[in-house]
């Protein structure tokens, strides 16, 4: 691309130089020819005055010879009588066309021969009262004019070469400025195609190229966000499905350990665990769509905490855990319009963490805190020794197994306009705050 840009730019510059230089070169030749004719006319006028002075004073025409000797660069000078015979100077022996045409009072200019070998001729009549008419002829070779024009042409050619060289240098710089960012964009596009979504386009200062780079940046950002979202969904799904699957496995294992028991009870418990598993999958899929949470409240459903707490109690019982689950739903708790699926998953994470990391009984308290709905999950374990800044970070090295679940729970709470905090490290108490209305 760089070579094409440089080649086209230099070709355009050369074409412009030729289109401008050719008429200028012809104008130089015309100017030099006109200037040389003017010089010949001046020399012929001076010689004619000298000859007229000698004739008028009755002296031999000697001043003419002195004039020729004083300025040999003036070209050839000759004097012709009325019969057209050369009587003095250098020139044709008999009168040529310009000399014969010099019959009036004005000088006559003409060319003799053709091409580069002809002569430029100026003839000036000399009339002195009572004396025979005479004509002064001044001439010079056209080749001398073309030699001077050639010198000017060489200078013009040199300037044209310098101009073309300058255009070549500038074209290389502009080609680098244009092609460099495009090459970087090509590399960035290849990296994006290889899965590097952190790639960013270059900033060149050229609006059109920067617009392409901005579009590439936006595409990389969207693809990266989409991939992160898919990875997060896979991690969240595997984390959230672990507890329902564990409950289903425990139900089936319990049925196998009691071969004489009624299988219908085990099948019913298995179906209930499967329903909870299906509900968890549906919740995760619905939450993964990122539907706007700021919808009008009259189009949203009120959070049914009683039914949700009953589901959590059944889930806890399905784990066959001998630890007690205490639910304290206070009557003054306000109404919330948060998503049931989101709150279900947040509380499932908190109960799962209490089961995995805590001790003793687990208490879920639903209360009012200044008009907001607060749900506290507390166990009797030794407490949390990790700072909160690490506890809610996904895959944090210091958060150990807390990272995925608590990070998911916090993001779901914030998506509903709420907050999830570690309100007390020992005994560990996590509090979910949701926007609410008093009854």
Q: CA 11, CA 128: separation in Å to the nearest integer? A: 64
Q: Is residue 145 part of a domain?
A: yes
**In this predicted model, what pLDDT tens digit does every residue of 300-347 receive, in sequence order?**
568 888 888 988 888 787 665 678 899 999 888 888 888 887 888 888
- pLDDT at site 296: 35
285 domain-assigned: no
Residue 358 lies in a domain: yes
Query: Which of 156, 189, 212 is a domain's end point?
Result: 156
Distance CA 64, CA 53 (A): 10
Q: What is the CATH number of the domain that holds 393?
A: 3.30.565.10
Q: How far apart are CA 332 and CA 329, in angstroms?
A: 9
Q: What does pTM read for this prediction? A: 0.46
CATH of the domain at 25: 3.30.450.20
CA distances from 437 to 70, 306, 336, 341 (A): 121, 16, 6, 20
Determine the pLDDT at residue 235.
65
Q: Do 173 and 3 contact (CB within 8 A), yes or no?
A: no
What's the pLDDT score for residue 429? Answer: 92
**What pLDDT, on a 0 to 100 scale, did the predictor assign at position 381?**
86
The reply to whether 152 and 6 lie within a common domain is: yes
Looking at residue 300, what is its pLDDT? 52
Within a domain: 131 = yes
Mind giving me the DSSP string for 348-412? HHHHHHHHHH--S-EEEEEEEETTEEEEEEE--SS---S-HHHHTSTT-SSSGGGHHHHHHHHHH
Domain-embedded: residue 344: yes
Determine, yes or no, domain membership for 272: no
Among candidate residues 118, 134, 156, the one where a domain is terminated = 156
Rounded distance between C-alpha atoms, residue 38 and residue 45, angstroms: 10
* Structural domain count of the chain: 2
Q: Residue 419 is part of which domain span? A: 291-437
- Is residue 284, in this structure, part of any structural domain at all? no
In a domain, 78, yes or no: yes
Q: What is the pLDDT of residue 401?
A: 46
| C-alpha torsion sign, points 344, 345, 347, 352 | positive
Residues of the chain predicted below pLDDT 50? 70, 291-299, 396-402
Q: Which of 137, 156, 175 is the last residue of a domain?
A: 156
């Amino acid at each position: 691309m760089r070579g094409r840009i440089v080649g086209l730019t230099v070709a355009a510059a050369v074409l412009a130089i030729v289109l401008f230089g050719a008429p200028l070169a012809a104008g130089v030749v015309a100017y030099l020819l006109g200037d040389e004719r003017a010089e010949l006319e001046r020399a012929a006028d001076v010689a004619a005055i000298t000859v007229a002075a000698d004739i008028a004073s009755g002296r031999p025409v000697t001043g003419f010879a002195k004039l020729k000797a004083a300025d040999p660069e003036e070209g050839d000078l000759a004097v012709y009588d009325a019969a057209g015979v050369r009587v003095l100077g250098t020139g044709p022996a008999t009168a040529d066309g310009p000399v014969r045409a010099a019959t009036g009072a004005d000088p006559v200019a003409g060319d003799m021969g053709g091409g580069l070998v002809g002569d430029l001729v100026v003839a000036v009549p000399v009339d002195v009262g009572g004396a025979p008419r005479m004509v002064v002829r001044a001439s010079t070779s056209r080749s001398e004019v073309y030699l001077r024009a050639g010198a000017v042409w060489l200078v013009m050619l040199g300037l044209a070469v310098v101009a073309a060289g300058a255009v070549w240098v500038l074209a290389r710089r502009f080609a680098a400025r244009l092609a460099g960012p495009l090459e970087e964009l090509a590399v960035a596009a290849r990296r994006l195609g290889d899965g590097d979504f952190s790639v960013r386009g270059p900033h060149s200062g050229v609006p059109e190229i920067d617009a392409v780079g901005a579009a590439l940046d936006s595409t990389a950002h969207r693809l990266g966000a989409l991939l992160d979202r898919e990875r997060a969904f896979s991690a969240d799904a595997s984390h959230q499905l672990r507890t329902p699957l564990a409950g289903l496995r425990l139900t089936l294992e319990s049925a196998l350990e009691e071969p004489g028991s009624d299988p219908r009870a085990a099948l019913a418990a298995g179906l209930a665990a499967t329903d909870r598993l299906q509900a968890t999958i549906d919740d995760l899929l619905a939450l993964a769509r990122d539907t706007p949470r700021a919808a009008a409240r009259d189009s949203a459903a009120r959070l049914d905490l009683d039914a949700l707490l009953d589901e959590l109690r059944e889930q806890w019982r399905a784990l066959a855990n001998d630890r007690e689950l205490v639910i304290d739903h206070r009557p003054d708790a306000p109404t919330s319009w948060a998503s049931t699926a989101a709150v279900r998953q947040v509380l499932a994470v908190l109960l799962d963490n209490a089961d995995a990391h805590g001790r003793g009984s687990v208490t879920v308290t639903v209360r009012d805190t200044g008009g907001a709905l607060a749900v506290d999950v507390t166990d009797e374990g030794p407490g949390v020794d990790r700072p909160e800044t690490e506890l809610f970070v996904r895959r944090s090295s210091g958060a150990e197994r807390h990272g995925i679940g608590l990070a998911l729970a916090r993001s779901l709470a914030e998506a509903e306009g709420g907050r999830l905090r570690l309100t007390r490290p020992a005994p560990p108490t996590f509090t979910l705050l949701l926007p609410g209305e008093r009854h």
